[in-house]
Amino acid sequence: MDTRPIGVFDSGLGGLTAVRQLRRVLPGEDIIYFGDTGRVPYGSRGRQTILQYARQDIRFLLSQNVKFLMAACGTVSSTYPSEEASRLPVPYTGVVGAAARKAVTLTRNHRVGVIGTAATIRSGSYAALLKDLMPDIQITAKACPLFVPLVESGHVQDGDPVTTLVIEQYLTELRDAGVDTLILGCTHYPLLKKMIGDFMGADVALIDPGKVTAIETAAALADLELTNGRTEGGRVRYYVSDTPEAFQELETLFLGEYAGGPVEQIAIETY
């Protein structure tokens, strides 16, 4: 048994959707979450800036004695080098691998769509991994930069006219391409899942990277004998780089029934 917490980080609040899934599959595990709310978004940044921020985020979580690291951020997961991750003192996972593996198990016509931030799509990480897993796959990828601010502005209610218009603008290309599986390649996007699903159609499978990564994390902890042995009572501590008030205004949107818990602001630039 290992009673240390799981460390989860994101550029802002989107990674809370992964925390929500972790709490469902690992209700006894403690979690430390860092959201870099003072420097969000990462998706429009250059590669070196993203790497600098990710390294600081990781150093902070390692200072909290975590036993496992999850980058609950599609941008970081698409950018952080696997060889660097392999040298970390604790196991690390992003959200790209689990989502890609799920996509190739679900697609029937080998046409898969990927949506994400500009940096995620520009990196080509999903496309490269999907092609490794299924060489004859056809991939349609689309950056959807307006989805994050729409979510954080609360435009998530079914039928919201602004979000509906933006979904049509972004996703018509993917629908016309005949994809039967769509990776929601940013952890904000599951909050738009109902509206995206309505637009894409009932025959298109939508993949929530936070959900599938949480399931794989639970399996990895068991395989590595890193679970704490509890089946309930897990606690979460939240850290942000901007004022906690902004976090507290939106935490229920992202965490649902799991909202609540201490929130502390830190100076991430010192790590």
Which amino acids are annotated catalytic?
Answer: 73, 186
Closest CA to 207 of 103, 57, 77: 103
User: 83 near 93, Cβ under 8 Å?
Assistant: no
**What angle, rounded to 10 degrees, do the helices at 96-106 and 125-133 form?**
40
15 CB-near residues (< 8 Å, 6+ apart): 8, 9, 33, 35, 72, 73, 187, 210
Strand 205-207 versus strand 6-10 pairing type: unpaired
Start-to-end Cα distance in the chain: 29
- Read off φ and ψ for residue 232, nearest 5 degrees: -160, 170
Rg (CA), the chain: 18
| Kind plus residue range of the DSSP H or E element containing 247 | helix 244-255
Closest CA to 212 of 104, 140, 113, 121: 104
